[in-house]
Structure 1
Amino acid sequence: MYQGLKAHVSRIISPTAEEMAFFCTKFKTLNFPKKSNIIHPGQYTDHEYFVVKGCLTSYYLDKKGHKHIIQFAIEDWWIGDFDAFYNHKPSKLYVEALEPAELLAISYKDLEEVYQEAPLFERYFRILVTRGFITQQGRVLSTLEKSAQERYEEFCQRYPTIEKRVPNYQIANYLGISAESLSRIRKRLTTTH
């Protein structure tokens, strides 16, 4: 159950066995069927989620009801509404299981306890937040600078396993293009390769 989490942590920091064991005691296991919402707008969310198994997405619905995909998350990734979690306010996002999902959930209170008792984990989460910020900044710049085809090729290169697990219309949404445009791009790429 905790092997993936322990491996993920160990790639970033080097906690003692006691620190790792203490960290793991702060999680609870949750299972969600496909298409279920883990978070929805207006909900106060007190947990962040580490993906043990499954594929999830976070998205925003604008005032016209248009969906805007913010993130996909697969095994060994974190997902949640970070703004709602850290600022103790209602969520603006949906987090949905695209596949049956097994998650490890940690509460804000328990995370603060971890920081007090095992401060090395503050470094772990700081590195995760920094990497996430860099990824989001890269995504914004890619949207501003690159063609739809370049963005799709970059997505496939960066996230090859996600590309095979997520419906094309959701990838198109994430890339900010229409499903028809993505279909044309994919057809063009298969004929040129």
Structure 2
Amino acid sequence: MSTILRKHIERITPLTDSEFDYVLAHFSPRSFKKQQYLIQEGELVQNDFFVLSGLVKSYYTNADGKEHLMQFGMEDWWITDYQAYFNQQHAQLNIDCIENTQVLCLSLHNREKLCAELHKMEHFFRKKSNAGYVALQRRILSLLNNNAQERYESLLKLYPELFQRVPKTLIASYLGVSRETLSRFSSKADLK
């Protein structure tokens, strides 16, 4: 499983064996069952999670009890409540497992330590943060500018595997449409 993390890091910066061993020593592995929480709203957020296997979802529940799905996290992705993680605050988001999931946990203290001691890791996390900002901007612009059909087609093109692994109700929630509307989009896509 550690080879997954190493390959992930080395897409951005190479590491020697001893550097990687040092990096890996700052992570702790954890396993979660389907529907188990990685983070619950109101908890202090201790870790950023690198997903080794499985699938999770991040969502916000508003005052009316309506859930707003923020993001999915699958193999080779990072996920946490970043506002709470970086500010060491209580979570506003929930993150729970859609499938049984294995992660590597990285505390903020260990992340800061790695960045201070290994320039390569500081470079890695900067590049990952930049990619995250770009993805967030793309999602916001899609919500502002694209109709539901266009958002569906874009998600299907970018992450076709999600449609095999995620219940349609969650895909609909992520896209901001009803389950029935999603079914119509799926039917149209099948006819093409």
What's the TM-score, normalizing by structure 2?
A: 0.97
User: Offset at 1:10?
Assistant: 0.4
* CA–CA separation in structure 2 for the residues paired with 1:112 and 1:141: 31
Once the two structures are superposed, residues 115-148 of structure 1 have per-residue CA deviations (whole angstroms, 9 ceiling, x without a partner) of 1221211111111111111111111111111121
Residue 13 of structure 2 corresponds to: 13
Amino acid at match of 1:75: E
Matches of residues 118-129 of structure 1 in structure 2 within 5 Å? 118-129=118-129
Partner residue, 1:117:
117
Structure 2 equivalent of residue 137 of structure 1: 137
User: Hey, what's the Cα distance between the residues in 1 that align with 2:17 and 2:117?
Assistant: 14
- Give structure 1 stretches of 5+ with no counterpart: none
Q: Spell out structure 1 runs of 4+ moving beyond 6 A.
A: none
1:157 aligns to what? 157
**More divergent stretch after superposition (111-120 vs 23-32):** 111-120
Q: Report SS of the residue matched to 1:160.
A: coil
Structure 1 stretch 126-135 or stretch 113-122: which is displaced more? 113-122
1:172 maps to 172
Farther off after superposition, 129-138 or 110-119: 110-119
Structure 1 length normalisation: TM-score? 0.96
Aligned residues: 192
Residue in structure 1 matched with residue 72 of structure 2 by the alignment: 72
Taking the aligned partners of 1:96 and 1:34, their CA distance within structure 2 comes to: 8
- Equivalent positions of 1:51-130 (< 5 A) are 51-130=51-130
Distance in 2 of aligned mates of 1:16 and 1:79? 26
Sequence identity of aligned pairs in percent?
34
Residue 50 of structure 1 aligns to a residue whose secondary structure is strand
Conserved in 1, the CA contact under 8 Å of 2:41 and 2:94? yes
Write the letter of the residue equivalent to 1:121: M
Q: Identify unmatched segments of 5+ residues in structure 2.
A: none
**How many angstroms apart in 1 are the aligned matches of 2:163 and 2:125?**
27
| Structure 2 residue identity aligned to 1:96 | D
In 1, Cα distance between the equivalents of 2:9 and 2:73? 17
Backbone CA RMSD of aligned residues: 0.9
